[in-house]
Amino acid sequence: MRVLGLDIGDRRIGVALSDALGLTAQRLMVLERRSHAIDLEAIRTLIATHHVERVIVGLPLTMRGARGVQAKKVAAFIESLRRSVAVPVQPLDERLTTVQGQRALSAMNTSPRKRKQLIDQIAAQLILQHFLDMQRDPATPAA
């Protein structure tokens, strides 16, 4: 089962894709945000191209678990996406994924310019991998 992972930002959408067995997440690409309609069409195309059966979207809750401004924007995008595609779309708490991604890039001595290009993909990969791990082992903490 192929699963698509999304990290929705105001300017970019990080995209990750699972392997065919649904075990590992790989970085796929970054979509530059253009318009709501174009963004949805790009995701629909990715779903069709990669035969995706489920979409996981990172929901940026506050550290206290509340929905701040960005989480409300992402929740609205999720609702639009649900109406636009024929596969399940599921939010997943993404707290600290960007921080984890930045630490990983820093540990690899990645240049600041390259980090900016990769962070959205890595955040999507971390979100998706967490979902895949939870599917295999229900004891995996939600966040």
Q: Residue 118 and residue 32: Cα distance in Å, rounded?
A: 13
Closest of 97, 18, 84, 30 to residue 56, by C-alpha: 18
Sheet holding 52-59, edge to edge: 25-32, 12-18, 2-8, 52-59, 89-93
Packing angle between helix 69-84 and helix 36-49, nearest 10 degrees?
60
Domain chopping of the chain, boundaries: 2-136
Which fold, 2-136? Nucleotidyltransferase; domain 5 (3.30.420)
pLDDT in tens, the chain (143 residues): 899 999 999 999 999 999 999 999 999 999 999 999 999 999 999 999 999 999 999 999 877 777 888 999 999 999 999 999 999 999 998 876 666 666 666 667 666 666 666 888 889 999 999 999 988 877 766 65
Taking alpha carbons only, the member of 136, 117, 104 closest to residue 23 is 136
